[in-house]
Amino acid sequence: MLLSIIWNPDPVMFSIGPLSVRWYGFFYAVGFFIAITIIARIFKHDGAPESWVDKVFIYMILATIIGARLGHVFFYDWDYYSQHPAEILMVWKGGLASHGGAAALLLTAWLMSKYMTHQSIFWLADRVFVGSMAVAPLIRLGNLMNSEIYGHPTTMPWGFVFERGNERFYDEAGNLLPCHPTQLYEALAYLIIFALLMWLYWKKDAGSYNGLLTGVGFTGVFLARQLIEFVKNDQSAFEADMTFNMGQWLSLPFVILGVVLIIRALKKGKVVYHLPVEKAVAKDNRKHGKV
């Protein structure tokens, strides 16, 4: 038996009567809490109205879940869901695609920029991207606890034997083979990108470059996804005969968009945003002779 890590955790964190709390949902919730905390700090630093934070939080959650669900339904398992449309709404049964979530967040940023902030789409997208990157590593930890979305068999000493996994590989003696823990590969990659975005915003004033943070985020996340997919098992049967799987094809446009945004932002240089002042703040400032 190869040196490896036996992995067999219960995906249910705890149960209270008929109600079960799963690790996946717990990590999702913690990620969103961290994300909105970071976004609130960024908004305060930029002098944005406090009322924007709650709206961004609500629509960010809805966009992520709905977009990720529809991304899975249409890109990975449409043959099944076209015959069982009622199950599209059953998110708790699993099936979320990060590409759909990313596209939905970008669309939401555009709509909120048009109807709420009245700024460039990338003023909001850049700041939301920094916060949302705190969620991504935790989602992959949730996948790890579910023993799902892992990789091919490996002889590396950090291989995981996923005893609860749906993809099983055996040696000649009938023992389960260790596989690449691609959830951890992605979690580490996303954590590094999150740290980079935080450093760029807080230390390098990258928020003044329209679209730079979004560009760095898209390029980093989906380039990492492109590479890790080479050792990851296919999520759907139709990918078996593909040179590049669906995740890689869907990542390519985001990588290209990311590079374009980086070049565009650096070429245009810093911009000055004129954010509205909250009525209560403006009234207080006038009272104290600050305006």
Kindly give the pairing relationship between strand 19-22 and strand 5-7: unpaired
3-state class (DSSP) for residue 273: coil
Are 77 and 238 in contact, with CB atoms under 8 Å apart?
no
Percent of the chain with pLDDT over 70: 90
> Over the Cα atoms of the chain, what is R_g?
21
Please give the C-alpha separations between residue 167 and each of 10, 11, 77, 155, 162, in angstroms, as whole numbers. 17, 16, 17, 17, 8
Backbone angles phi, psi at 238, to 5 degrees: -65, -15
| Residue 150 pLDDT exceeds 90 | yes
Over residues 164-180, the pLDDT tens digits come to 998 889 988 889 999 99
Instruction: Take residue 98 and report the two structure tokens written for it.
Output: 């990060």
Structurally, the chain folds into a number of domains equal to 1
pTM: 0.86
Instruction: Tell me the β-bridge partners of 21.
Output: 14
Instruction: Take residue 68 and report the two structure tokens written for it.
Output: 């990720």
pLDDT-derived band at 283, boundaries 50, 70, 90? very low
Residue range 146-154: mean pLDDT, rounded:
93
pLDDT-derived band at 3, boundaries 50, 70, 90? low
Nearest to 223 by CA among 194, 195, 191, 253: 253
Domain enclosing residue 59, as ranges: 5-287
DSSP code of residue 116: I
Residue 138, C-beta contacts closer than 8 angstroms, at least 6 positions apart:
27, 28, 30, 31, 34, 187
Are 163 and 6 in contact, with CB atoms under 8 Å apart?
yes
Q: Of the given ranges (16-20, 119-123, 220-224), which has the lowest mean pLDDT?
A: 16-20
Kindly give the pairing relationship between strand 19-22 and strand 12-16: antiparallel
Residues in the chain: 291
Over residues 23-39, the pLDDT tens digits come to 998 998 999 999 999 99
Helices 121-132/98-112 angle, 10° precision: 140
3-state class (DSSP) for residue 147: coil
